[in-house]
């Protein structure tokens, strides 16, 4: 995977995680479940992808962590969006929408050359 592809994927995943946390704190499994439900199972995020992204967001102070008990009474790390994370989501989501809409329009078009 080229660096540009990695950046697009990382930025998209970061925004999805921030969106998942915008309604309230979740543990990692809860974040993954939210992404799967929200994308109608189009994106399945495994642990090897999710946790490095959560750690990256924590290093950038877009999320904060706290230990708590999960629904099944096990110790789990919970992630919560910070004010900086909310600002990031608010500013970057419209940029991503324009980007995605542009790609979708190009892929729906029938011409091989732009008009």
Taking the C-alpha atoms of residue 44 and residue 80, their distance in angstroms, rounded to an integer, is: 21
Q: Is 114 inside a domain boundary? A: no
Inter-CA distances, 8 with 17, 44, 78, 96, 115, Å: 14, 17, 26, 10, 27
Taking the C-alpha atoms of residue 95 and residue 64, their distance in angstroms, rounded to an integer, is: 24
Q: Is 113 inside a domain boundary? A: no
Q: Is 115 inside a domain boundary? A: no
Widest pairwise Cα distance in the chain: 60
Kind of pairing between the strands at 63-69 and 75-81? antiparallel
46: Cβ–Cβ under 8 A, 6 or more apart, which residues?
A: 32
36-54 per-residue burial string, b: 16 or more CB within 10 A, e: under 16: eeeeeeeeebeeeebeebb
Look at residue 114 in the predicted model and tell me its pLDDT.
57
Domain count across the chain = 1
**How would you write the pLDDT of the chain (115 residues) with one tens digit per residue?**
555 555 788 889 999 999 999 999 999 999 999 999 999 999 999 999 999 999 999 999 999 999 998 888 889 999 999 999 999 999 999 999 998 899 899 999 865 665 5
Q: Is 84 inside a domain boundary? A: yes
Q: Is 92 inside a domain boundary? A: yes
Q: Is 64 inside a domain boundary? A: yes
**Full residue range of the structural domain in which residue 8 is found:** 3-108
Q: Is 39 inside a domain boundary? A: yes
Look at residue 4 in the predicted model and tell me its pLDDT.
55
Q: pTM value?
A: 0.86
Residue 3 CB neighbour total at 10 angstroms: 7
For residue 73, the domain's CATH number is: 1.10.10.10
């Amino acid at each position: 995977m080229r660096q540009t592809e990695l950046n697009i994927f990382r930025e998209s995943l970061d925004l999805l995680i921030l969106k998942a946390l915008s309604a309230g704190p979740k543990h990692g499994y809860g974040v993954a479940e939210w992404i799967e439900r929200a994308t109608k199972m189009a994106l399945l995020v495994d642990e090897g992808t999710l946790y490095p992204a959560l750690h990256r967001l924590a290093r950038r102070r877009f999320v904060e962590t706290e230990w708590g008990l999960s629904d099944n009474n096990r110790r789990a790390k919970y992630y919560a969006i910070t004010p900086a994370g909310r600002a990031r989501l608010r500013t970057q989501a419209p940029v991503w929408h324009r980007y995605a809409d542009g790609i979708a329009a190009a892929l729906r078009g029938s011409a091989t050359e732009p008009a």
